[in-house]
Structure 1
Amino acid sequence: MESHSLIDIRAAFPQLSIDLKYATADNLTGQPIYSGAHCLLHADAAQALSESINIASVAGYRLLILDAYRPPEAQAILWRACPNQDYVAPLSRGSNHSRGTALDVTLIDEQGRIVDMGTGFDEMSELSHPYHPAVAIQAQRNRLMLNAIMLAGGFTGIATEWWHFELPDSENYPLIADLFSCHSASQAENVTQ
């Protein structure tokens, strides 16, 4: 598995909507982390994403990508903002985003609206767990639909974030060095929590 087998998702799948949250201030740090909106995935994950795109279309939805490949430098910034391994992979393990095999995603309905999932992206709490009983029934159904679409494409979810999906064997892929720059750690450390 070549570490630089990354695909530009924006070019490969023009039908996708992309809103890379870490290129904006709309994330848990409250500041942009990425210096640009580069949306990259390993070729194997891009193949699974292609299947999920088709399945979402059949179900009457489109996918909205919130994050994909994440430079290790960005992972370090996120760890400093939220040093809780339930939600952010510790640097010693490395993130599957930094392997190019994970993505954060939600659904858009046929009217072009983002589907209600009960919490926002990057809400690092138990309410973000895929099957939390305090989440409204319709939001639970929406999470189940997203989960079904992504699993049918070949991804697997995690127990703490409804938006996170990765290839089942992600830990077998190498971490990929920083392929694009991040804002300095000192800028991103001015976090209001």
Structure 2
Amino acid sequence: MSSPLVVITEQTHGVKIELAYATENNFTGKLIYKHATCVLHQDAEVCLKKAVEHAKRAGLTIVIYDAYRPGKAQQKLWDFLPDDHYVTPPEKGSAHTRGVAIDLGLIDQHGNVLDMGTGFDDMTNLSHTDNADLPPHIVQNRAILLGIMLHAGFKEIKYEWWHYQLPNAFDYPLLDSDLVEVV
């Protein structure tokens, strides 16, 4: 049986890839992935292509911080932060370990990342999608991202402005692929 996973590249998909877990610049402070290989389930890739087009029409580019995440990586994140508001327990499996979730932001036409009020993987109330204690320009930037992603067929989660997944994410099976190598 062939894998339902598709490799996403800057060249093939018109996105910027900055996988946080392929660097030490993430909430664990440790390298999780050996390489910055971005992968999504083919169903999520269809929606990503729509999102890329919606963003492009607004003069924006999608920047991807994470996509498919192997179970071993999910375990490392859980070991570091066992809080199910922000990290799904490995035994349940996350939308990421099913390949149907993507963590992302937006870049403007000048190459600047739009200010969303927090960085990616900020595990505080300020990262909640509907936080009311944010300046209007940040609320506007989050609303633009939300509109792009909902229009493309994704669903948001309330704790992380950067996380979008397919609406039926947990109907998909957990995937174990070596396309994304864990340290």
Same fold, TM exceeding 0.5? yes
CA contact (8 A) 1:73 1:178 kept: no
Cα distance in 1 for partners of 2:134, 2:12 equals 32
Corresponding position: 1:119 with 2:118: yes
Name the residue aligned to 1:17.
16
Name the residue aligned to 2:43.
44
Name the residue aligned to 1:181.
181
Q: Which amino acid aligns with 1:99?
A: R
**Map of 1:60-75 to 2, 5 A cutoff?**
60-75=59-74
**Map of 1:33-112 to 2, 5 A cutoff?**
33-112=32-111
Q: Which amino acid aligns with 1:182?
A: V
How far did 1:133 drift? 1.5
Name the residue aligned to 1:26.
25
Cα distance in 1 for partners of 2:96, 2:129 equals 19
Sort the Cα spacing of 1:19 and 1:109 in 2 relative to 1 into closer, same or farther, 3 A.
Answer: same
CA contact (8 A) 1:8 1:41 kept: yes
How far did 1:24 drift? 0.3
Name the residue aligned to 1:130.
129
How far did 1:13 drift? 3.0
Cα distance in 1 for partners of 2:55, 2:99 equals 21
Cα distance in 2 for partners of 1:92, 1:129 equals 25
CA contact (8 A) 1:3 1:176 kept: no
CA contact (8 A) 1:39 1:68 kept: yes
- Corresponding residue SS for 2:64: strand
Q: Tell me the percent identity.
A: 42
Is 99-108 or 87-96 further displaced after alignment? 87-96
Cα distance in 2 for partners of 1:115, 1:54 equals 17
- Number of equivalenced pairs: 182
Task: Name the structure with the higher strand share.
Answer: 2
CA contact (8 A) 1:78 1:88 kept: yes
CA contact (8 A) 2:10 2:16 kept: no
Q: Which amino acid aligns with 1:120?
A: G
Q: Which amino acid aligns with 1:165?
A: Y
TM-score, length-normalised on structure 2? 0.95
User: Deviation string for 1:57-88 (max 9, x for gaps)?
Assistant: 11111100110000000000000111100000
Name the residue aligned to 1:164.
163
| Gap regions ≥5 residues in structure 2 | none
Sort the Cα spacing of 1:95 and 1:12 in 2 relative to 1 into closer, same or farther, 3 A.
Answer: farther
How far did 1:53 drift? 0.4
| Gap regions ≥5 residues in structure 1 | 184-193
Cα distance in 2 for partners of 1:33, 1:10 equals 19
TM-score, length-normalised on structure 1? 0.91
Cα distance in 2 for partners of 1:53, 1:99 equals 21
Q: Which amino acid aligns with 1:147?
A: L
